[in-house]
Structure 1
């Protein structure tokens, strides 16, 4: 049985919020910019540059903050990051049924790989720095027929790739809003994914 499932990372497979707040605190101390880490982690999904642009900074300042954030990230974020309920089992469910699991995320690829290695969640490929409809490029490249995410942008990416949009209500968007945005199915969290996957595979041709 050959099929590919794509997964988003932040607030779909992992919860990195505690450490992200710490990075923002460190950046604020270094730069004097009043960065709001607590607010940032309620808006996870879009690229980091979108968040820094909220502070009316020049483009070169935004670029510098993104680079410094990525440098600090492993020290501050990796230690406190946890896998979300059912994450490892969801990826394993794909592999156990003969499929491939790929991660497509707006996060910098290097840091995404570090998370997956540390949490021992093996996937076929990791593609970073893609957001919303831009994720369709990687999803189509790997032939993903399902994309799992927690954000409205993930639904947009799935639609752009002509993939089945599975939403999990573990991020900043409510289940109701995920449904209203056009998710094909909304799960409470990834603990429900293996059972859903069996139903999906039985109903489709592979």
Structure 2
């Protein structure tokens, strides 16, 4: 007999080739605001409290039309640059008591996370939001990802997605598409946030869905093709 033979009767070299082509375990990343949750009412309430406490007028109705980028980006529209860090600290302190209870899960959110688990995969949340605030939202709404990574935006999200070997990233903003592309992940975009389907496609989204209700079926097809 020539060559080493594995216990199952396959040559070791063949097993090595098979192992090298096996797909990595499924990992799916999700954005939080306006992807998994509708946080507009909670964010608006927090901005109203911030405005009342600082005396700075803030149009909370306008604020919630552009949810996605980091908090400091929005605060810079209302506060001088030197006051933004203190305003951000104050906003984050106000957030738990004003934003968690009014926010709701978006249609298909729980089912989408469950779909990842049903396929033996890991679901992670990668968000620009302050991580403790994100965790409060998820716990309140009974959405249980494996990992939550906060304070990342656009291409910086790609770093976390690569670290966790995510094959798919789901988001509602062109910044989320940029994060997916930076990680080499499939970009699945939903139109539940501030960006419409055309904007998301032009940014490079691979798949555009109206909302997350269509995601579990898409994911099952994606995983079947990946395993074929």
1:160 pairs with one of 182, 194, 218: 182
1:150 match: 172
Give aligned pairs, total: 205
2:116 match: 94
Give the gaps of 5 or more residues in structure 1: none
Residues 1:171 and 2:199 are matched in the alignment: no
Residues 1:23 and 2:52 are matched in the alignment: no
What's the TM-score, normalizing by structure 1?
0.97
The structure whose Rg is larger is: 2
1:35-73 per-residue CA deviation (whole Å, 9 max, x = no partner) reads: 1211111000100000011135133x1011111111111
What's the TM-score, normalizing by structure 2?
0.88
1:75 pairs with one of 87, 92, 97: 97
If asked which structure has higher relative contact order (CA below 8 Å, sep 6+), I would say 1
CA distance in 2, matches of 1:205, 1:159: 22
Q: Which runs of 4+ in 1 moved over 6 A?
A: none
CA distance in 2, matches of 1:135, 1:189: 21
2:66 match: 43
1:189 match: 211
CA distance in 1, matches of 2:33, 2:54: 26
What secondary structure sits across from 2:101 in the alignment? Answer: helix
Give the superposition deviation at 1:205. 3.2
